[in-house]
């Protein structure tokens, strides 16, 4: 009986592990579109974008796919303070200089959020809580 339970557990775990490794790679336009369609649920993927703008925030950074972060086409990458030690070790303290103009790949979840006084979601963002979520910079 125990062997059957263990085998059943392993058969369920294997597809989940395989599924985690097969994430779609999305452009900002695809990310915004899929996040809007899935809202309020997030869309898990690898996001590939050229960083057009960056701004320092309370202990973290915002990276944007568009020069104007208010653009409906913008995919924002929100780097939380918890990710900063690893990122500053790798790219230096000025992430703006290190990343603007570069293409990055980020693993995470895109979700639609409300900005300002609006109650309707108006922006799409991916939250980075640890440095390992930024997979590459080129």
SS3 label, residue 68? coil
Residue 133 pLDDT grade (very low, low, confident, very high; cuts 50, 70, 90): very high
Upper half-sphere CA count for residue 121 (Cβ side, 13 Å): 17
Average confidence (pLDDT) over 113-121: 72
Identify the sign of the CA torsion 80, 82, 21, 18: negative
Radius of gyration, CA atoms only, the chain: 17
> Is the pLDDT assigned to residue 120 strictly greater than 90?
no
Average confidence (pLDDT) over 17-38: 85
Which CATH code for domain 23-137?
A: 2.40.50.140
- Beta-bridged to residue 106, according to DSSP, are 47, 134
pLDDT at 113: 85
Identify the sign of the CA torsion 95, 101, 103, 107: positive
List, for residues 48-64, the tens digit of each pLDDT value. Answer: 999 999 999 888 999 99
> Is the pLDDT assigned to residue 138 strictly greater than 50?
yes
d(CA 92, CA 70): 27
Beta-carbon contacts of 16 under 8 Å, excluding residues fewer than 6 positions away, are none
Return the DSSP state at 70: T
d(CA 16, CA 38): 21
- pTM surpassing 0.95? no
Higher pLDDT, residue 98 or 15: 98
């Amino acid at each position: 009986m125990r062997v059957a339970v263990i085998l059943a557990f392993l058969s369920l775990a294997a597809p989940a592990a395989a599924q985690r490794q097969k994430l779609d790679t999305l452009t900002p336009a695809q990310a915004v579109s899929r996040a809007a369609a899935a809202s309020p649920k997030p869309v898990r993927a690898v996001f590939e974008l050229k960083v057009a703008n960056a701004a320092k925030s309370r202990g973290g950074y915002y990276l944007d796919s568009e020069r104007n972060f208010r653009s409906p086409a913008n995919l924002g990458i929100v780097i939380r303070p918890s990710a900063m030690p690893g990122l500053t070790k790798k790219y230096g303290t000025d992430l703006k200089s290190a990343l603007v103009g570069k293409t990055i790949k980020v693993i995470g979840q895109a979700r639609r959020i409300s900005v300002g006084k609006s109650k309707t979601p108006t922006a799409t963002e991916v939250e980075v809580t640890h440095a390992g979520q930024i997979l590459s910079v080129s």
